[in-house]
Structure 1
């Protein structure tokens, strides 16, 4: 007699989530891929159209550039902040984490418009500088790439600070004492011991910020003033205004493939350092 098939324990708890992922993620993803590859038959004409159109290539390149620069500055700002948090007492660390997590309870739209109140031509910063006589005319902070970087960093900085902070808390400080006992100066001990052991968390957090930046829509649209083309805004135009679903699906597929390549490069770099 055939043995009765035994399902893994707890499979009943996993199946609903698995079905949700298949129905709401995998199937739409496969449908998008199908749109980009099939017309009446298998074709690459939509990808050829994307490659031959310099506008699409420019927008894709600009999106990846903004993503990389945002991830870079998120690391530059997040690393010292995370390290400083590890030097605090436990109660102060809890307070610092609460301040970092608190913005998640505020709408991204509200936080984006708050930057207009702060940095707009008639905003608080420009008004204060004008009253102090430090400038003769308002400074253009927003409605260009600089404004996009400010808004994006503000929203995504917690995504690198929190994993970095968790990684740094697990670091064994006796390793630094051992390095110092062997004659290493504080900066050398940090560079040779502390930084390499926290680098995997840096790369993981940086890759997360990079990937999230690629799909941003609200912040670039508002703080960029329509002057900073990114993939999300271009897809909105292709789908809702033209519409050209096939080309939009092709661009989305290219974005997905390049994102996966960058992700594996980040992860490989992190594994090489461990």
Structure 2
């Protein structure tokens, strides 16, 4: 009799044993270290979630309930052009940043420790300077009587100043300068973890160094390319200060339009709709990128 009763008892014991760790984890989250997250959660609710909910609500209620604000964005060619220009500018800035940042990050993996640290400091240097100060410095460099044009004119390369401001060129120069660290750092983190013995093995088997680089190293660095491009592109969508100082009427971006609607026209409902469109585009991009890369690893955790 005891023999037949033993298995159910063991099963019950195993079930309780499996349930106890979950209860312990819930208790630890509620009464232990998990309480340390409450101030951050409360802060985000007050300064992020609540204002975001207000903005989304105003986009469909101000000046009257409905989707009129969103319909106005689609009906007006001016607003549609600004929306398209925002995405085109963000894509161009991402591509240029990748073309500059990829060889730079690759050089960091090849350099000796001292020069690697120097290259890293050069990348991090923009973080130690105000964005507004950097943008005004670029104005002094790129304007018609700035350092760049005056130098080119002095050495005889140009006779008239190059249009480096108040257009897309100035906006891209400023955005790339700001966003370059966000491309280089994920690329460097990925490239540093690639086993160089794979390249040497391919070369031993007869592959040329360039062939081994393109067929082995570049595909292995793809997660860093995707992570860096995602960080750069999403941030580029919401740029305001740099386009406002270096751009012109033909290079207006969505962030400038939102500020104009709030500060000049006082059209809060339409500005909220523009912000909702920008937020929706960002979330859509994150959802698409999440299908190809591990966002939790590359954006919130150590690689």
- In structure 2, do the counterparts of structure 1 residues 226 and 41 end up closer, same or farther at CA, with 3 Å as the change threshold? closer
- In structure 2, do the counterparts of structure 1 residues 6 and 103 end up closer, same or farther at CA, with 3 Å as the change threshold? same
Q: What CA deviation, in whole Å up to 9, does each residue of 1:127-167 have, x standing for no partner?
A: 12222222222121111000000010001101110111111
Q: CA RMSD in A?
A: 1.9
- In structure 2, do the counterparts of structure 1 residues 10 and 65 end up closer, same or farther at CA, with 3 Å as the change threshold? same
Instruction: Name the count of aligned residue pairs.
Output: 269
1:160 maps onto 2:183 in alignment: yes
Query: Where does residue 6 of structure 1 map in the other structure?
Result: 27
Counterparts of 2:238 and 2:63, CA distance in 1: 30
C-alpha displacement of 1:107: 1.1
Q: Give the SS at the match of 1:55.
A: helix
Q: Give the SS at the match of 2:251.
A: coil
Counterparts of 2:56 and 2:80, CA distance in 1: 19
C-alpha displacement of 1:226: 4.5
Larger CA deviation: 144-153 vs 86-95: 86-95
8 Å Cα contact 1:144/1:224 also seen in 2: yes
Q: Give the SS at the match of 1:122.
A: coil
Query: Where does residue 184 of structure 1 map in the other structure?
Result: 207
Written as runs of structure 1 = structure 2, the 5 A alignment for 1:126-145 is 126-145=149-168
8 Å Cα contact 1:203/1:267 also seen in 2: no
Query: Where does residue 242 of structure 1 map in the other structure?
Result: 265
Query: Where does residue 34 of structure 1 map in the other structure?
Result: 57
Higher relative contact order (CA 8 A, sep 6+): 1
Written as runs of structure 1 = structure 2, the 5 A alignment for 1:13-24 is 13-24=36-47
Larger CA deviation: 123-132 vs 162-171: 123-132
Rg larger in structure? 2
Query: Where does residue 84 of structure 1 map in the other structure?
Result: 107
C-alpha displacement of 1:262: 2.1
Q: Any stretches of 5+ residues in structure 2 without a counterpart?
A: 1-22, 295-303
Larger CA deviation: 4-13 vs 226-235: 4-13
8 Å Cα contact 1:119/1:141 also seen in 2: yes
C-alpha displacement of 1:175: 1.3
C-alpha displacement of 1:214: 1.1
Q: What CA deviation, in whole Å up to 9, does each residue of 1:59-118 have, x standing for no partner?
A: 111101100110011111100000011111112111211121122111111111212222
1:52 maps onto 2:75 in alignment: yes
Q: Give the SS at the match of 1:136.
A: coil
Larger CA deviation: 173-182 vs 209-218: 173-182
- The TM-score, its normalising length taken from structure 1, stands at 0.92
- The TM-score, its normalising length taken from structure 2, stands at 0.84
C-alpha displacement of 1:183: 2.6
Query: Where does residue 169 of structure 1 map in the other structure?
Result: 192
1:110 maps onto 2:97 in alignment: no
Counterparts of 1:247 and 1:81, CA distance in 2: 42
Query: Where does residue 213 of structure 1 map in the other structure?
Result: 236
Counterparts of 1:115 and 1:86, CA distance in 2: 30
Written as runs of structure 1 = structure 2, the 5 A alignment for 1:61-100 is 61-100=84-123
